[in-house]
A = this chain, B = another copy of it.
Amino acid sequence: MKRKKMSELGEIGAIRRILRVLEPVIPEKPCLPIEDDVQAFDDCKLAVKIDGYSERMSRYPWERMSDWGWRAVTGPVSDLSAKGYKAIEMVYSLGVPKDEDIRRIEELVFGIREALKSYGVQFLGGDLNSSSGEIWIDVAIVGKLISTSPVPRSGAKPGDKVYTTLVNGYGKPGLLYKLYQTASWKNASPRLLRFRPSAVTSFPKIISAISVSSAIDSSDGLAKSLKLLAESSGVSIEIKKLPISNHMRAVLKKYEVGIEEATLFGGEEYEVIFTTKEPQDRVIQACNNERIKCVEIGEVLNGSGEVLYKGKKIAGIGWDHFISP
């Protein structure tokens, strides 16, 4: 075991070293690959997703505690939905500094409550701990398979078309990041900042209606999510159309933020990206039946994990917990 700082290894390097140790206790034939977004068990009928959030790393300064709590629930619900599971039960573990004001925790928990109500998930219980640094929350949600079978990241085939849902819209979080980096968010309109994205909870029904070969939630950003999907599937993906509305294009222009940058490298959108060989009209119909807007954004090609846009490879850049500043 070589000595190395987490920041030298990066998130993926660190995970690889950790998984090497854990190999003997990983299921031999899991329902979904170990590196997929949710962990399935009980003959795939159930899945669990755990997600950790530290206040300093994940709450944006314009987010109220309740917005942050909403998002902490939305993340795992979104991952479960993208794989075909309906979120049903939630537990959390909280780490709170001793001198923290209980009201901030109540506000956080209020946002959690709103999200659970909205997604129809029950709160089963939690664990409260003291933390020496900052507020920390881990959310674990159990989901029930409601599509015919779970959809992995790794099933995309050359010739499949790539789609994404448009519930929360792409570009807005990318814009917010940009404003954040330049501190100009302080002058942005409150309406722009009050962004509370939702998980696409009816996606499992789309999986039951049409044949979906692979799917991933887009919360790490469009570019990084497509990259993960392409790498897991052993294919490349060509983006032919950016999933961005005319309205958002206009907003980005007003704030002088690049459309491609905001759409490809944003994140926090909680849309679903999926691949299918079904004809477009059947895909659109299946989405319409669930009152979801879906758009074809590209195609799966032979390749080895590249994502192409306008004929060029693009970087699968997104958040890295140990390298990002």
Contacts and interface: CB of A to CB of B under 8 A. Distances in A.
A63 interface: no
Q: How many copies make up the complex?
A: 2
Interface in A1-54: 1-7, 9, 11, 14-15, 17-18, 21-22, 24-27, 30, 34-36, 38-41, 46, 48-54
Interface in A144-197: none
A109 interface: yes
A98 B4 CA distance: 11
Which residue, A21, A130, A132, has most C-beta atoms of chain B within 10 A? A130
A110 B21 CA distance: 6
A278 interface: no
B41 A102 contact: no
Interface in A79-123: 88-89, 91-103, 105-106, 109-110, 112-113, 116-117, 121-123
A57 B30 CA distance: 35
Given A48-B142, A123-B25, A129 B54 contact: yes
A228 interface: no
A142 B56 CA distance: 30
A140 interface: yes
Contacts of A110: 21
Contact of A130 (B17, B101, B321): B321
Interface of A: 1-7, 9, 11, 14-15, 17-18, 21-22, 24-27, 30, 34-36, 38-41, 46, 48-54, 56-57, 88-89, 91-103, 105-106, 109-110, 112-113, 116-117, 121-134, 136, 138, 140, 142, 321-322
8 contacts: A1-B106, A3-B101, A4-B103, A18-B105, A36-B125, A38-B125, A52-B94, A132-B133
Q: Which 6 A-B pairs have the closest CB atoms?
A: A133-B133, A39-B124, A52-B93, A138-B138, A130-B321, A140-B140
